[in-house]
């Protein structure tokens, strides 16, 4: 009997994932010292997914600078101490047979916010450990403080921060680098005409709005070398009139591929509040499908993918090359092992310590 496509290996450059069930970035807001250094929580959280059989485990949005953190409790990769702490986590992920990825991020105007379970909402004031956020334009996200508009020196500094974060990520042992250009964070803010009102070479036309992303991709590829896999996460729509959409996403994905990116992680939304999103199982898969075929690029799909056969069908139908799991794998970190059982696949990477819990053949 042939192996379901979901459990066949998948390679990007020199990196091979053992299957196509991958862990999407999920913010944990759990750095208690506000120093960006990942903790034992991150080791157990991410290591559990590797132990559970995932092919690729990607970290939460990891800031390339202190000002790029979403919250004071976010992780970073802008210091050697952070690099060394990530190295320990990467080593464990590798020990379980999974590939380790890091999502490099700058929150832009959505930086310096309270973590979700804090009683407060909105922007953390500077008097309480917050900072002034930056953005392409001085336009606030709903309920947040107005950011400072980046000047040319600031933009050049962003590119340099991504390059430096790349070097530390490679030194920490990460196999996959993912640039966060989705969910309303800085690179997405430059892409969307709803948040980018600039009139210089970084605003206006699609080419100008994509300029920063393409500069970051070039800088990251130059620093990472040819072996590392480079992903870009896009929100394929703002779900808002006049905003970023799937056609623009497909066009820029082609440019990004030509600039050195390899693979595209397709999500949606996050730039503006008050939108209506038609939530349903696999509701974002059509966007991945569109980008894949419009631009002839490789993509993953994410969003309410909760069942093994659903995931298998997404791949065998040709709509995506892999699936990303978030809430479903948080509920069941051993989702890949369970999915293999449901699809009749005999895996050789069950943890030896757990073999007595394996289902009978």
Report DSSP letters for 124-155, one per residue: PPGGGT----EESSS-PPTTSPPPEEP-HHHH
- What is the extent of the structural domain holding 128? 5-357
Inter-residue contact 242 to 275 (CB < 8 Å): no
List phi, psi (to 5°) of 102.
-125, 135
Q: What is the pLDDT of residue 2?
A: 84
Rounded Cα distance, 215 and 160, in Å: 10
CA-based nearest residue to 35, from 98, 84, 79 = 79
Rounded Cα distance, 257 and 329, in Å: 29
Q: What is the pLDDT of residue 289?
A: 98
CA-based nearest residue to 11, from 303, 157, 227 = 227
Question: Which positions are catalytic?
Answer: 185
Neighbours of 324 (CB within 10 A): 26
Query: How many domains in the chain?
Result: 1
Residues forming a β-bridge with 264: 232, 299
Spell out, as residue ranges, where the chain has pLDDT lower than 50.
Answer: none
Find the distance separating the first CA and the last CA of the chain, reported in whole Å.
Answer: 15
CA-based nearest residue to 315, from 5, 1, 3 = 5
Rounded Cα distance, 187 and 214, in Å: 10
Q: Which residue has the tokens 């132990």?
A: 51
Q: Is 70 left (phi over 0), alpha (psi -120 to 50) or beta?
A: alpha
Secondary structure element (H or E) that encloses residue 206, with its range: helix 206-209
Reduced DSSP (H G I as helix, E B as strand, rest coil) percent helix, strand, coil of the chain, to 5: 40, 15, 45
Q: What is the pLDDT of residue 1?
A: 58
The CA radius of gyration of the chain, in Å to the nearest whole number, is: 19
Q: What is the pLDDT of residue 357?
A: 86
Q: What is the pLDDT of residue 150?
A: 98
Rounded Cα distance, 144 and 234, in Å: 23
> Could you give the dihedral angle defined by the CA atoms of residues 158, 197, 71 and 129, in that order, rounded to the nearest 10 degrees?
90
CA-based nearest residue to 174, from 103, 124, 252, 250 = 103
**pLDDT (tens digit per residue) in 4-17:** 999 999 999 999 99
Rounded Cα distance, 104 and 60, in Å: 9
Q: By percentage, how much of the chain surpasses pLDDT 90?
A: 98
- CATH number for the domain harbouring residue 238: 3.20.20.70
Rounded Cα distance, 157 and 151, in Å: 10
* This model's pTM is above 0.85: yes
């Amino acid at each position: 009997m042939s192996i379901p496509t979901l459990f066949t290996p998948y390679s990007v450059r020199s990196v091979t994932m053992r299957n196509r069930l991958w862990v999407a970035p999920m913010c944990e807001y759990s750095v208690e010292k506000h120093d960006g250094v990942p903790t034992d929580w991150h080791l157990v959280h991410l290591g559990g997914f590797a132990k559970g059989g995932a092919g690729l485990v990607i970290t939460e949005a990891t800031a390339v600078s202190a000002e790029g953190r979403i919250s004071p409790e976010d992780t970073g990769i802008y210091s050697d101490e952070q690099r060394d702490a990530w190295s320990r986590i990467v080593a464990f992920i590798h020990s379980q047979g999974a590939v380790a990825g890091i999502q490099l991020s700058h929150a832009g105007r959505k930086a310096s916010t309270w973590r979700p379970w804090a009683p407060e909402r909105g922007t953390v004031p500077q008097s309480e450990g917050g900072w002034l956020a930056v953005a392409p334009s001085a336009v606030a996200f709903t309920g947040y403080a107005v950011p400072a508009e980046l000047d040319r020196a600031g933009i050049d500094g962003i590119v340099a921060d991504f390059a430096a974060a790349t070097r530390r990520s490679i030194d920490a042992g990460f196999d996959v680098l993912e640039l966060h250009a989705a969910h309303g964070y800085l690179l997405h803010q430059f892409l969307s005409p709803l948040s980018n009102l600039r009139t210089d070479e970084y605003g206006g036309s699609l080419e100008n709005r994509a300029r920063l992303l393409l500069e970051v991709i070039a800088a990251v590829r130059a620093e990472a070398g040819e072996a590392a896999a480079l992903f870009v996460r896009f929100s394929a729509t703002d779900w808002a009139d006049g905003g970023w959409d799937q056609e623009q996403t497909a066009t820029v994905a082609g440019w990004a591929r030509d600039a050195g990116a390899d693979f595209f992680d397709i999500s949606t939304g996050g730039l503006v509040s008050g939108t209506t999103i038609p939530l349903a199982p696999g509701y974002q898969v059509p966007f991945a499908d569109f980008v894949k075929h419009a631009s002839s690029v490789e993509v993953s799909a994410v969003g309410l993918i909760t069942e093994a056969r659903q995931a298998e069908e997404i791949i065998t139908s040709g709509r995506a090359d892999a699936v990303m799991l978030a809430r479903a794998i948080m509920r069941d970190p051993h989702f890949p092992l369970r999915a293999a059982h449901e699809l009749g696949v005999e895996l050789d990477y069950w943890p030896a310590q757990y073999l007595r819990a394996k289902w009978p053949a």
